[in-house]
């Protein structure tokens, strides 16, 4: 079609000066015949292909999250490496069977056509060097995206950022084409893209499960994907002929895959310790499905999250993103959100986030539709030269229909979200009988070693200024394990009411257990357990301000929402319950065994607040057994059997287990509301948040 239309345009231009009205009428007939018998490949749309990409991309993203978080395969670089290696194999098979690098997917079925070119032209050449930078960006974006998926607790937070890819692409297009003008790459000012980015900022501001690593990796990955899309389309579009475009595109694909393998291998080798073949059949099955979905995504739409079929079409003209691409990407994100909403545990998406996401999608739609209008007019001008009689023939699909479909789909998903979340989160509140035998209202137990006394005093003063603590009687008890410390000076310099010297055994977990066991009958109404160098102090104070109330029973001051299966608990930081401490404690605390689907909420950072009623809800012997486990070489050994590791009393491995089971000990590890709704320390309480979201109350 391209050559037919091109030949016709050349003939028309050659005789343009002698054209008559009759010639123009004949042109209309010829033009109609061309588009009837040879429909343009670039414009021909395969609905099957689009649907295939929608399901493949959604499956790949959700499968990657499930694999890393639910199946404890915490190796994003290894997953990326597997995808790149399989992608290389598939591409080489296709290349060897077709002798072409330009796979054209604009067909009516899920498949591809090829334009044959000599195989010598596909070997590394000078055109490849021009594609190295964009290939490196594209290759690095995949492992970065997987890192973001791993470290961002809320998958919707990433999925709803997909407009950032198109917005970045639009801005890069505008910037590059402004510096290097080309008649084929004219761009409007990207105001709609800037508005979309502002809307996405609102989405992130209202996200309740932000974590710094997840935020940095995911945003960097999406911006890199948008940058790569813009640069590759500009570079291909500025090429002098179709053969050069094919060589560049083939070079881009090959270098992206090879660089992806190199980058992923370096990261995996240095930072990941893969379990090898010690995987369950379920995990292996999910890995196979995940790999297949990644390959299917690449074959049908090139990229994850953002549908990019035009990057696989090395033809005469490579346009910027189309409204159809944005809508297909939007449909995939909608499918993902529906799946995530009904997954276990569910993820909460606020109204403000959803509206911001819809606004951002609308804005990028406006961006690409404005560009499409310009490109349509430009194509009409180029085809008709001085005569513009074919303008109406090249109109794009109705914008009204696009917006109607967009709005309708969004409303349906909003309805599904609004009716599903309340039913998935039963309001479980533990009712305890308060025990009134207390020595004070609020104790602050500090576990110290060699920390700076002045910094300890500043931390304690900040805590005492928080809303609840400032209105109650406080008693500061500082335990130090520094055998050379001057207790009198330490008391004066820190402002503590009591300073006690302990043996250097058990870390902070041993300190807390010692305090509970030794003060069982005179525990304060509430006790804050904290280390001398508190983690995330800047975010910790708002958590105390927002959630500490009179009814507080157990309030964790660490990571939020990390759960595991009671019978096989582990997390992405390399910890694993090898000695089955959690199922043993669960049975002692609840007088029943763990079920196959029992989920346990883990606690982190070794800092929390608990009431005397909740501490004394379980037997003293449990605390004594834990104290013995963390301060002796035997470790956790309830049955007298050999433990799986040697426990060092000054740095016990059991201390990592102790850090994670405080919520279980305080009977706050099975509340689904806390597991699902509690925001991270970075996010803090969002609009519409409730004090019950992050703690178990004594009522």
Residue 214 and residue 153 in contact, taking contact as beta carbons nearer than 8 Å = yes
Q: In whole angstroms, what is the distance from residue 270 CA to residue 273 CA?
A: 8
The predicted structure's pLDDT at residue 188 = 64
Q: What is the mean pLDDT of residues 297-315?
A: 75
The verdict on whether omega for the bond into residue 229 sits within 30 degrees of 0, i.e. cis, is no
Residues making up the chain, counted from first to last: 699
The predicted structure's pLDDT at residue 609 = 97
The predicted structure's pLDDT at residue 93 = 81
Q: What is the mean pLDDT of residues 231-235?
A: 84
Backbone angles phi, psi at 89, to 5 degrees: -60, -45
The predicted structure's pLDDT at residue 422 = 41
**Predicted confidence band of residue 613 (pLDDT cuts 50, 70, 90):** very high
The highest-confidence range among 41-55, 110-124, 251-265, 650-664, by mean pLDDT, is 251-265
Angle between helices 132-151 and 242-271 (to 10 degrees): 40
Q: In whole angstroms, what is the distance from residue 324 CA to residue 427 CA?
A: 42
Q: What is the mean pLDDT of residues 667-692?
A: 88
Greatest C-alpha distance within the chain: 107
> What are the tokens at 190?
């990207």
The predicted structure's pLDDT at residue 113 = 33
Domains and CATH numbers, the chain: 2-33 (no CATH), 34-424 (no CATH), 442-685 (3.90.550)
Q: What angle do CA 358, 361, 366 make, to 5 degrees?
A: 125
Query: Picking from 38-42, 84-88, 534-538, 550-554, which range would have the lowest pLDDT averaged per residue?
Result: 38-42
Answer whether residue 361 shows pLDDT above 70: yes
pLDDT in tens, 11-38: 444 444 445 555 545 544 444 554 444 4
Percentage of residues of the chain with pLDDT beyond 90: 42
pLDDT in tens, 307-350: 887 655 444 444 556 778 888 899 899 888 888 877 666 777 88
**Predicted confidence band of residue 371 (pLDDT cuts 50, 70, 90):** low
- Residue position matching structure tokens 């995987």: 279
The predicted structure's pLDDT at residue 431 = 44
DSSP alpha helix (H) spans, 206-343:
212-237, 242-271, 281-301, 323-341
Contacts of 682 (CB under 8 A, 6+ apart): 210, 211, 212, 215, 536, 539
The predicted structure's pLDDT at residue 374 = 55
Contacts of 191 (CB under 8 A, 6+ apart): none
pLDDT in tens, 561-590: 899 999 989 888 888 898 899 999 999 999
Answer whether residue 433 shows pLDDT above 60: no
The predicted structure's pLDDT at residue 348 = 79
Average pLDDT over the chain, rounded to an integer: 78
Residue 153 and residue 682 in contact, taking contact as beta carbons nearer than 8 Å = no
Backbone angles phi, psi at 120, to 5 degrees: -65, -30
Q: What angle do CA 458, 463, 465 make, to 5 degrees?
A: 100
> What are the tokens at 684?
């803090």
Displacement of CA 566 from its chain's centroid (Å)? 25
pLDDT in tens, 467-502: 999 999 999 999 999 999 899 999 999 999 999 999
**Predicted confidence band of residue 396 (pLDDT cuts 50, 70, 90):** very low
The predicted structure's pLDDT at residue 322 = 73
pTM of the entire predicted model: 0.79
Concatenate the DSSP letters of all residues of 329-388 into one string.
HHHHHHHHHHHHHTSSS-----HHHHHHHHHHHHHHHHHHHHHHHHHHHHHHHHHHTT--
Query: Picking from 68-72, 201-205, 443-447, 558-562, which range would have the lowest pLDDT averaged per residue?
Result: 68-72
């Amino acid at each position: 079609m391209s050559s037919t239309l091109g030949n016709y345009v050349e003939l028309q231009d050659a005789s343009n000066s002698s054209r008559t009205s009759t010639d123009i009428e004949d042109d209309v007939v010829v033009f109609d015949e061309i588009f009837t018998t040879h429909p343009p490949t670039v414009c021909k749309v395969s609905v099957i292909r689009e649907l295939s990409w929608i399901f493949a991309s959604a499956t790949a993203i959700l499968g990657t999250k499930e694999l890393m978080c639910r199946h404890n395969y915490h190796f994003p670089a290894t997953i990326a490496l597997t995808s790149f290696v399989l992608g290389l194999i598939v591409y080489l098979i296709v290349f060897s069977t077709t002798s072409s690098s330009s796979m054209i997917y604009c067909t009516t079925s899920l498949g591809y056509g090829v334009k044959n070119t000599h195989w010598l032209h596909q070997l590394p050449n000078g055109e490849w060097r021009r594609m190295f930078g964009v290939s490196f960006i594209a290759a690095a974006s995949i492992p970065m995206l997987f890192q973001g998926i791993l470290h961002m607790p809320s998958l919707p937070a990433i999925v709803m950022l997909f407009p950032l890819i198109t917005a970045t692409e639009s801005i890069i297009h505008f910037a590059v084409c402004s510096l290097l003008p080309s008649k084929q790459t004219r761009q409007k000012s990207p105001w709609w893209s800037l508005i979309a980015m502002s809307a996405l900022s609102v989405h992130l501001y209202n996200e309740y499960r932000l974590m710094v690593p997840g935020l940095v990796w995911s945003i960097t990955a999406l911006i890199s994907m948008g940058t790569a899309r813009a640069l590759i389309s500009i570079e291909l579009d500025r090429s002098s002929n179709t053969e050069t475009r094919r060589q560049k595109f083939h070079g881009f694909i090959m270098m992206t895959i090879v660089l992806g393998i190199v980058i992923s291998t370096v990261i995996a080798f240095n930072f990941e310790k893969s379990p090898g073949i010690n995987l369950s059949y379920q995990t292996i099955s999910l890995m196979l499905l995940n790999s297949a979905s990644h390959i299917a995504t690449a074959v049908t739409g090139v990229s994850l999250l953002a549908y990019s079929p035009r990057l696989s079409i090395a033809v005469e003209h490579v346009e910027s993103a189309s409204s159809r691409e944005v809508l297909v990407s939007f449909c995939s994100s909608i499918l993902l959100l529906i799946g995530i909403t009904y997954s276990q545990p569910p993820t909460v998406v606020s109204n403000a986030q959803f509206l911001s996401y819809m606004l951002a999608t609308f804005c990028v739609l406006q961006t690409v539709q404005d560009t499409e209008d310009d490109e349509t007019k430009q194509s009409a001008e180029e085809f008709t030269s001085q005569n513009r009689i074919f303008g109406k023939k090249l109109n794009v699909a109705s914008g009204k229909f696009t917006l109607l479909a967009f709005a309708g789909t969004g409303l349906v998903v909003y309805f599904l979200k609004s009716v599903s979340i309340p039913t998935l989160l039963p309001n479980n509140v533990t009712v305890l009988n308060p025990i009134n035998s207390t020595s004070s209202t609020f104790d602050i137990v500090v576990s110290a070693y060699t920390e700076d006394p002045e910094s300890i005093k500043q931390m304690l003063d900040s805590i005492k200024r928080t809303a609840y603590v400032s209105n109650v009687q406080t008693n500061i008890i500082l335990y130090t394990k520094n055998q050379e410390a001057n207790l009198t000076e330490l008391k004066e310099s820190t402002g503590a009411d009591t300073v006690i010297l302990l043996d250097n055994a058990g870390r902070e977990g041993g300190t807390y257990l010692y305090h509970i066991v030794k003060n069982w009958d005179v525990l304060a109404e509430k006790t804050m357990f904290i280390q001398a160098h508190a983690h995330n102090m800047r975010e910790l104070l708002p958590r105390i301000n927002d959630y500490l109330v009179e009814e507080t029973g157990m309030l964790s001051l660490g990571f939020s929402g990390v759960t595991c299966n009671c019978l096989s608990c582990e997390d992405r930081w390399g910890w694993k319950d090898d000695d089955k401490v959690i199922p043993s404690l669960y049975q002692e605390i609840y007088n029943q065994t763990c079920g196959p689907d029992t989920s346990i909420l883990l606690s982190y950072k070794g800092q929390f607040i608990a009431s005397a009623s909740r501490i004394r809800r379980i037997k003293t012997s449990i605390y004594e057994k834990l104290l013995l486990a963390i301060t002796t070489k035997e470790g956790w050994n309830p049955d007298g059997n050999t433990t799986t590791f040697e426990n060092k009393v000054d740095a016990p491995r059991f201390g990592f287990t102790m850090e994670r089971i405080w919520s279980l000990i305080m009977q706050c590890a099975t509340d689904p509301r806390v597991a699902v709704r509690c925001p991270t320390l970075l996010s803090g309480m969002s609009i519409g948040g409730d004090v019950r979201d992050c703690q178990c109350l004594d009522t």
